[in-house]
Amino acid sequence: MSKIVVLDFGGQYKELIARRVRSLNVYSEVHPGRISADELKTMNPDGIILTGGPNSVYLPDSQTCDPGIFGLGVPVLGICYGMQLMVHTLGGKVAPGEVSEFGVVDCEFRGTNRKVLMSHGDRVFALPEGFRVLGSTKDCPIAACENVTAKLYAVQFHPEVTHTERGIEIIQDFLFNVCKITPDYYLDDVIDTLCEQIRGQVGGDRVLLGLSGGVDSSVVAALLSKAIPSQTLCVFVDHGLMRLNEGDQIESVFSKRDLEFARVNAETRFLSKLTGVTDPESKRKIIGEEFARVFEDVAKSRGNTEDYFLAQGTIYPDVIESGDSKTGGADVIKSHHNVGGLPKDLKFKGLVEPLRGLFKDEVRALGRKLGLPPELVERQPFPGPGLGIRVIGDITKDKLDVLRKADAIFRESIDGIPFEERPAQYFAVLTDLRAVGVTGDARSYGNVLALRAVYTDDFMTCRYVPLTHELLNGVSQRITNEIRSIGRVVYDITDKPPATLEWE
């Protein structure tokens, strides 16, 4: 296959860049930015993309790259930090800008005006010899550049995110007009490859799958049943942090399928571990460790933990936001329970994570190809820590019950929107704020509930959904009338970036 190598310098969008490449049916891999030019040459890439990053290229401890990469004769595209690194390495000048650019700005690029996502404090002040300017903004005169002879191209903005208008065209142009690639990467091939990898790792051993009932773990279940029939035990841990009636719904679906299914009711166990815990990172890690301990207990009850591999529905966004040291070290946005929360002394033979390199839309496509029903494949995502990260502050059963009811009201209202127009994700958050109000003729002091609904296709970025005031007013009235402890409802209108999709 044709191949694009994405070199990571700590940018949170590294796998999103790789995903955009793969969405164009071109295979991509992510590797550390510190890789040598000689090692990179052995990979025989058709093109190289340098990611963004959190550092300043001119500081002595910042991530750098082998200068020989720019002399391989392989086309290179630098994005954000990648552009600055290219310029700095080749003799140009990068320094702090007079004004930082964070968010969507107007950019003149190749003679056209477009909105682009910027995220930088430093900027390029002078280009290396042989480069010319391709784009500029009000505060960044050199926002894009190229050296056609050396096959080097760079943009200060992020073409990989949906916030950038026609950003995918820039990636297409690089792949097909500069790198001269013929598309040859398809998901049908991925299914066969993943099944071979599972068989190669597991052999004849048993696998215990942590089944949440969500899209990711359900697709893993389908993959395991295809790759290693009769070797998988699916365990659903009902940790007391599920949405209203969700545990029963999951059991009704999966207990009827052709696989071994076990439900563990562990509400008391999880809530006791979370008592008094308010820090979101601590919550995620406690929940992640307790999940693993429950899985170990189930395995022990059926023999020895060491006889099983542990399978999870870990996907790329989980790894990215948890900070993946294997590819160069993105900043930790939030530790996902199945990445940053796993204990180091796991007794299982190993981890089976076949979806670790895929994005949510790829996982859904995989599920459809594996024959999973639409209501499962298109199911709204739900984080592994569940409502534990949607109750801000300390977690109690009473708070969870309040949030369950409010969340159900909101989701019921959104479910009335035609499916093709429905948000990708929508939920309620019980904040740790209280606000004064009036109930009848008396003063009240109730909890503040936040609602969030977003559009996204990659779950690395998102746009808030402009729900109608009529719908929001109806939801607010129902929640405040039916749930006495909630005194105020607010709606979150923040995109990602700068926010994350979840509140914690």
Q: Catalytic residues, which ones?
A: 80, 158, 160
3-178 and 187-377 share one fold: yes
pLDDT at 327: 43
- For residue 161, how many other CB atoms are within 10 A of its CB? 21
Mean pLDDT of 69-83: 97
Longest dimension (CA), the chain: 77
> Residue 85 and residue 22: Cα distance in Å, rounded?
25
Domain boundaries, given as residue ranges, for the chain = 3-178, 187-377, 390-491
- The single residue listed with the structure tokens 């949510």 is 360
* Helix or strand (DSSP H, E) at 366: helix 360-369
* Helix or strand (DSSP H, E) at 106: strand 93-109
Q: How confident is the model at residue 313 (pLDDT cuts 50, 70, 90)?
A: very high
- Closest to 50 measured CA to CA, from 128, 152, 179: 152
pLDDT at 344: 75
| Beta partners for residue 79, in sequence order | 155
> Residue 81 and residue 56: Cα distance in Å, rounded?
8
pLDDT at 339: 55
pLDDT tens per residue, range 232-243: 999 999 999 999
What's the Cα-to-Cα distance from 212 to each of 52, 118, 304, 374, rounded to whole Å?
Answer: 33, 36, 23, 17
Architecture of domain 187-377: 3-Layer(aba) Sandwich (3.40)
Rounded to 10°, the helix 14-23/360-369 angle is 40
pTM, two decimals, is: 0.71
34's CB contacts (< 8 A; 6+ apart) are 63, 64, 65, 66, 328
Instruction: Look over the chain and give the mean of its residue pLDDT values, rounded to a whole number.
Output: 89
> Residue 86 and residue 91: Cα distance in Å, rounded?
9
pLDDT tens per residue, range 413-458: 998 888 888 899 999 999 999 988 876 666 678 999 999 999 987 6
Q: Tell me how far the alpha carbon of residue 239 is from its chain's centroid.
A: 23
| 276: alpha, beta or left? (left if phi > 0; alpha if psi -120 to 50) | left
Omega before 466 within 30 of 0, i.e. cis: no
pLDDT tens per residue, range 23-73: 999 999 889 999 999 999 999 999 999 999 989 999 999 999 999 999 999
Q: Are strands 27-32 and 3-8 parallel, antiparallel or unpaired?
A: parallel
3-state class (DSSP) for residue 268: helix
Architecture of domain 390-491: 2-Layer Sandwich (3.30)
pLDDT at 333: 46
> Residue 347 and residue 35: Cα distance in Å, rounded?
33
On whether the CB atoms of residues 45 and 5 are closer than 8 A, the answer is yes
Record: fold of 3-178: Rossmann fold (3.40.50)
| 431: alpha, beta or left? (left if phi > 0; alpha if psi -120 to 50) | beta
pLDDT tens per residue, range 374-402: 877 887 778 888 999 999 999 999 999 99
